[in-house]
Amino acid sequence: MSLQACADLVARGDPDRFRATMAAPVAARRVLFPLYAFNIEVSRAPWVTDEPLIAEMRLQFWRDVVEELAAGKPPRAHEVALPLADAIPPDVAGALDPLVTARQWDIYREPFEDRAAFDAYIADTAGRLALVAGRALGAPEGAAALLEDAGWAMGLAGFLRAIPALEAAGRVPLVEGTPEAVAALAGEGLARLARARAGRGRVPRAAAPALFLAGQAEAVLKAAQAAPRRVAEGRLPEPGLRARLGLAQAALTGRW
């Protein structure tokens, strides 16, 4: 029932990752649904209250969960924490701590200090999520940089799609929002994705579902690079038939 609760949470809160996970084998779903449900719980913690202290307490709860999982302690009686403990090995779980810490930026309204801070935010959120997903599915430690690069590209694509909503909520999401800067940022995402794909052979097929959204991210980043004004206008590509076909192909071939 806890696994089903995680799947339901992902279906509601992260439809892209839900579709990607449903394209994966059943064994991978048992890992990815709890992990992605955890990510949703963490990512929404800063947004469910206007009180920074309460938001900090919500994030601390998940930091404590991660610390306990990494120490091999019995999981808390929570519908996400319980299946997460079964899905993520203790030696991998500790890598989730920066993901929780990074979400403190979402609590407050200050802009990123500089481009390095922005890059670190994407790396510590989406990059870490891809790293932990891949490692939990059997990717070797030597593939960590590859997983993080692909995760960074996927995370950037999602972040660019969220720009209008972030601005509407009073955030300053980009260090520099000129068309030239946005195009260059999208180009960096494409470069990281290409670098990850160059080492694709180091990721076993069982771990490929962690990266099934790479094709969808590529389409978004290419659109942002070619017409950067589409980012602020909220006109980046939304998943459609082509994205579903891409997931089907990734599931069939293991290539992302």
pLDDT tens readout for residues 55-110 = 999 999 999 999 999 999 999 999 999 999 999 999 999 999 999 999 999 999 89
Mean of all residue pLDDT scores within the chain: 97
Q: What is the pLDDT of residues 123-146, one digit of tens each?
A: 999 999 999 999 999 999 999 999
Q: Beta-carbon neighbour count of residue 174 at 10 Å?
A: 21
- Class of residue 202 by CB neighbours under 10 A (exposed 0-12, middle 13-18, buried 19+): middle
- Model confidence at 1, in pLDDT bands (50, 70, 90)? low
DSSP state at residue 209? G
Q: What is the pLDDT of residues 149-184, one digit of tens each?
A: 999 999 999 999 999 999 999 999 999 999 999 999
* Phi, psi of 190, rounded to the nearest 5 degrees: -65, -40
Give me the residue spans of the domains in the chain: 1-91, 109-256
pTM: 0.97
Average pLDDT for 112-132 = 98
Q: Beta-carbon neighbour count of residue 233 at 10 Å?
A: 11
pLDDT of residue 137: 98
Place of tokens 């649904």: 33
pLDDT of residue 241: 87
Q: What is the pLDDT of residues 185-194, one digit of tens each?
A: 999 999 999 9
